[in-house]
Each structure stands twice: as structure tokens, then as C-alpha cells.
Chains A and B, each alone.
Chain A
Amino acid sequence: MPEEDIWDQMGSDALATEEDYEHGYARVVRVDLQQHVVFSVGDETYGIPIAQIGEISKPMFTTPVPRTADFVLGIGNVRGVVIPIIDLATRLRLKTPGGGRDARVLIVRHQSEQYGLLVDGVIGVMSIAPENLEEAPGALAGARGDFIRALARGEGRIIIILDLGTLLDPDDFLAASVKAKGARG
């Protein structure tokens, strides 16, 4: 899908473009709805609050970093800043590896640092009313449950809202073998 289509699909009012950010403003839509960027990984649909997303870029060249966990694709360079890029499919333990023609990297901001999340494709921006959000059921999907902050219903599907805190927990980034050695202290 060409780049323009994606922006069209998102609705030009909804998502601040890179240009908007450079000029330091983002257009405001309705205040009571929370805007989420909705994207696909494997067969599932996920969302992240738009406030946490700095920009959406095409997959970039990454330099692999040794001794890191399997989901760490490596480091990428975004405007001179070196940031970790992670493969969301691997991180979420989905069978299919990330990538593909429509793949994008969501540059998210977490605790004032940036991270890149490789996803299969960006679907658009969705306004989610607070009443349509439900807390993640406790016993959800094993290991993945930790990464889920809430579930949302919208446009006939379930959107899994991700929790960046657990998804980007620094403790998980090191390879298990390195951690075992480092833990001896």
C-alpha cells in the first residue's frame, strides 16, 4: 500500500503528521475520546494511544546487537538518535515473524526514550470512548497477558491495547544466557 493511502485511511484530521510535529502542534479532535493508532501483527489487531507514538516510519536498516533477546532486531537510527527496534510479533510470541510489504515501524516514546516497534501494517487511527475499553481479563493468553493493558471493541473487532511498560521492560532485552551470567553477583 502506498504511503499516501495509509494517511488517507487514517483520516487527515486524526493523526498528526510528521510535519505537524516539526511545527510543534497536533490537531485536536474530540477531547473525550482517546485516539489510538491501530495496527496488525499476525492475525490480531492491536492499538497504542496516539500520545505515545512519535511517528510512523518505513522499516529502516537495523544493526543487530549481540547478546540480546530474540525479539530485539537491533538498533536503528532515527534522526541521529540510536533507538532499539523490536519485532512485535516475536515479542508477543506470535507464530509469524514480523515484516512484509506493508510493514511499518511505530516510533514510540516511553519514559522519555524512543523505541521502534515493527508491525505488519498500520490500519488507522480509531477514537475509543472510555466506555468501550475493558480491563484485560486476568487469565488472558498466558505470557502475553502481561503486555495487554485493555481490550477495546470498535468497528466489529477486538483491539488489544498494549502496555508499553511491560512490553519495553529493560530486563527482558538481554539474552537469557547473558542474564544468567550477569546474575551471579
Chain B
Amino acid sequence: MAQPVLLVEDSRAVRSFVSSILESAGTYDVHEVDNGFEALRALPRTDYALIVTDVNMPDVNGIELTRFVRGQEKFADTPVLVISTDAAHPDTQRAMDAGATAFLAKPFTAQEFLDAVVKATGGA
């Protein structure tokens, strides 16, 4: 059965790239949103199996979103995969500190992304 995934990313093209990777993998049902507020709105409605979020977004950033997700009982153990442009950037570390499961630096290939997803979801 397809697992629901929340994808939070403000770039349309990156969103559709990531989404198509997940969907072609066949086992994911991707819900795309383009900002943190939309993510907040989506979270209570679905028990997502995975959350993929960009770090650098206006208003509610990916770090704040991660912390929020971790504060929710039903998402306490949900894998959060953070995509960022730079592994060395302090913001990437902050996202990990806030409770992200893994991060992946852009640019990445479809395979790299899938590998990261598998790793984040514990090899499911």
C-alpha cells in the first residue's frame, strides 16, 4: 500500500522532480505543499510516513517545522528528511539538532534521493 509522504518545498520544479522520483518508486503517495503554513495545515489530517522538507523557506523555515513535528505526539517518530543546499551550512546542523532524521544536500540524483529515503525510513 502506498505510504503518504509530505513534501514541503517552495521551488515548483524541485517539488515536481522529488515528487516524480517518489511516485515512480511506486510505494509513495506524495502530498506537495510550497510553504510552511501549508505544511502546518496538512499535518493534522494525515499520518504521514515520511516528511521531506526544504530548510530555507520564508516565514516558517524547515528547522522550525522539524521542531514542530517533533513536538506532535503522532509524528514523534516519523522520519523527517531535510533537503538543503549545503551540508556544511549551520542551518543544516540546526535542522538535525531540531530532530531531523537525515539530510540530503542538493543537487542530488534520483538514486541518491531514494537511498536517503530508504535510510531515513529505516530501510522500509
Do A and B contact each other directly (Cβ–Cβ < 8 Å)? Answer: no
A interface with B by C-beta (< 8 Å): none
B interface with A by C-beta (< 8 Å): none
